[in-house]
Structure 1
Amino acid sequence: MNSGIKVFEVDKEKLAVTFSYNSKIVEKIKKIDGRIWDQEQKRWVIPNNSVSINQLAKLFEKEGIIWADEINYPSGHDAYSLDSDENQLLTEMGKIITLKGYSLKTRKAYLGHVKRFIEFIKKPPYQLEKEDISKYMLFLLEEQESSHAYANQALSSLKILYDSVLDKEKVDFNIPRPKKERKLPNILSQEEVLTILQSLKNKKHRALLFLIYSAGLRVGEVVRLKIEDIDSKRMLIHIRQGKGRKDRYTILSEAALNILREYVRVERPQKWLFPGGKEGNFLTERSVQRVFENALKDAKIIKKASVHTLRHSFATHLLEGGTDLRYIQELLGHNSSKTTEIYTHVSKTNLSKIESPLDSLIKGS
């Protein structure tokens, strides 16, 4: 069984390597030049360069590695390499998913799935069969121990590859999709959110996280905000082309507006409300994640949380405050009320009314 070795980018200079503890894997990791153990994050960190990446790929050629899409990883010593036919296939795939209107993030994910599939199967495109999909799905679920959401996305990308690019109609017939996992989101208490927000000193960082929590924004939405999207007269934020290519409005908090005005007065952003390091670009999502990770550490909160946890907490706190679920659905931009209903399972409003039988027993004794 695969130990679930995952590699993702920490920044331009470092890569993080995570896996379930295994002494043999640790021994191999220690062979990589420049590797260090990150005690706080409980993960190994290696230099983000071709030498380290190639060392890692060669050491774990048999075990397999789940590479983040942003990493230009090698296909391995004996791996099937993409020739001109396969590169043409990826080009055609890219055109089709662009015409379908998929977002840049989704296009990148789908192309990554197709590339990994071709490298795994080691066949020219015209020889690909339905059985190859089943083989790959079993590999993802049993050996790589990928999440069902990840495997489902891989299957969706391969369906487009076979149906629209290779013109193999109905190729995924009788291939069952992994059952969707039902996981409840982690929620921060209002006190914890306040502690995190108060730990921020940088004006730009304060404005970022204040806006995310106060309006329930996705990280991809906050970095793409423009100056004109903030309507201080109507106290609304205009989200343009959010998830699912939808526009919507959400609330603008008075407290968040005051923080935002302070930030704008000092930093004077031009086009993008939160510009990135490169001129003309908005801030990267990974940069926001790092801001939150540092704030979580400064606030000394050990609960597992990410930037998206602020969005979950926003919805849960609204529900606990008595806001109708239909309004929360609209603010979050959910298509289905079933998506929003998940917050009823993490809200303390109803659960707090239930008394544990142990407390009843003690009181009656």
Structure 2
Amino acid sequence: MGLMEEVHEALRRGHYSFRTEQAYTGWIERYLRHHRKVAGAWVSPEALGEAGVEAFLTQLAVERKVAASTQNQALNALVFLYEKVLDQKLGAFEAKRAKKPARLPEVLSRGEVAAVLDAVAEAPADPLVTRMHGLMANLLYGAGMRLTEVTRLRVKDVSLERGRVMVRDGKGAKDRAALLPERCIAAMGEQLAWRNRRHEADLKRGGSVGWVPMPYAQVRKTPAASRSLAWQYVFASPRVTPTPVMRLFMDGSAASGGAPLEDPAMMQAALERLGLADSQDVEVRRHLHENTLQKAVAAAVKRAGIDKKASCHTLRHSFATHLLEDGYDIRTVQELLGHKSVKTTMLYLHLTSGGGRGVLGVVSPLDRGAGRRARRERAAQPRSTVR
């Protein structure tokens, strides 16, 4: 087994997300290429040790001038290589560190949020996709969800009755409950009804249609779940994608973004349970790609005439800031955002806080007044003449 195969295996054994796997393997490959270029020949990472890591990280900061977060990711990847794959503890080293600027996240005012959400909902594009983008943007702000958490939301994780969604395998492989704003419930109900109709139509087309990428552990327990409505993506693509059945299952337990399963024995067992052949293609309805929503929000910011560097993540920043402005304590906001450390949440506002309340009793800032419908509802309310 080659070194990079060992790295892949160690990452999957540790149930790292697919994105982390891609990032770590990319940095390890760049590290090895860098030292091969410097030495003019292959140099084993064992021989490079702390000095090799220090030289590489210094080169990133001094020559390539990468951001502090980028350099930290490279460091984490190399620590993983040495400690988890090569079983070699790294000693102390003094690499030149990239400076992390003391910047607060960009935040939109409530009026600016309203303008962006309205612009997303009125985009001159395919009506079906525009409708989905409108609801997704409302969840970015109204629930404080991350971009991938919204795009990879599954039907089973939405509760209209309880007014919440479950975020599975969020950042740090954690689950959490997030708000489903009252203003989103009707639109979400319509989206789920559309998703049900589309899935029923897919199933009627035959056994090669209606599949969805699944974690292998779930397939092993309940094979039929691979074609069930519960596991389908809420924000599914209008088009199906022909996919080799070998790419249908995900490694590990990551329901939202795991790596494709590559172990032959495990794959064969999964196929047998589903009655599929390994040479077969199936038609998969994947979720809308993150890039499409990013472009929709960027275009909406421009159409709204907002001169800020705003993105999908800016809506999440605005959610946190507006909750704090509304008087919710920092611990509650931390829980809703899914932050591991309260220090991360403190970037939004430095407040003393008590225990968090989670979803219970929290009114989404979306329900407090961002968006066209909320403005209409406030305008329709009778004004008091009492002074």
The TM-score normalised by the length of structure 1 is 0.66
Equivalent pairs, count: 260
Aligned to 1:260: 188
- Is 2:113 aligned against 1:185? no
Aligned to 2:145, which of 209, 217, 233?
217
Distance 2:136 2:91 in 1: 45
Distance 1:282 1:312 in 2: 24
Aligned to 2:340: 335
Distance 1:113 1:245 in 2: 21
Aligned to 2:51, which of 92, 117, 131?
131
Contact 2:57 2:97 in 1 (8 A): no
The higher relative CO (CA closer than 8 Å, separation ≥ 6) is in 2
State the Cα distance separating 1:176 from its structure 2 match. 7.2
Aligned to 1:195: 115
Contact 2:160 2:189 in 1 (8 A): no
- Say if 1:157 and 1:299 are closer, same or farther in 2 by CA, change over 3 A: same
Contact 2:58 2:97 in 1 (8 A): no
Kindly report which structure 2 residues correspond to 1:62-141, keeping only aligned pairs within 5 A, or say none: 88-122=2-36, 123-125=42-44, 127-141=47-61
- Say if 1:304 and 1:179 are closer, same or farther in 2 by CA, change over 3 A: closer
Distance 1:216 1:208 in 2: 11
Distance 1:269 1:181 in 2: 47
SS of 1:242's partner is coil
Distance 1:119 1:233 in 2: 54
Distance 1:147 1:183 in 2: 13
Q: Give the residue type in structure 1 aligned to 2:169.
A: Q
Distance 1:110 1:283 in 2: 25
State the Cα distance separating 1:133 from its structure 2 match. 1.3
- Say if 1:325 and 1:345 are closer, same or farther in 2 by CA, change over 3 A: closer
Aligned to 1:145: 65
Unaligned runs of 5+ in 1: 1-84, 347-365
- Is 2:158 aligned against 1:230? yes
- How many percent identity over aligned positions? 37
Contact 2:49 2:90 in 1 (8 A): no
Contact 1:163 1:171 in 2 (8 A): no
- Say if 1:140 and 1:104 are closer, same or farther in 2 by CA, change over 3 A: same
- Is 2:340 aligned against 1:309? no
Contact 2:167 2:176 in 1 (8 A): yes
SS of 2:348's partner is helix
SS of 2:167's partner is strand
Contact 1:148 1:179 in 2 (8 A): yes
TM-superposition CA deviations, 1:186-238 (whole Å, max 9, x none): 00111011001111232111111011111000011111111221111111111
State the Cα distance separating 1:172 from its structure 2 match. 5.3
Q: Give the residue type in structure 1 aligned to 2:16.
A: Y
Q: Give the residue type in structure 2 aligned to 1:272.
A: Y
Q: Which moved more, 1:313-322 or 1:336-345?
A: 336-345
Aligned to 1:272, which of 233, 253, 264?
233
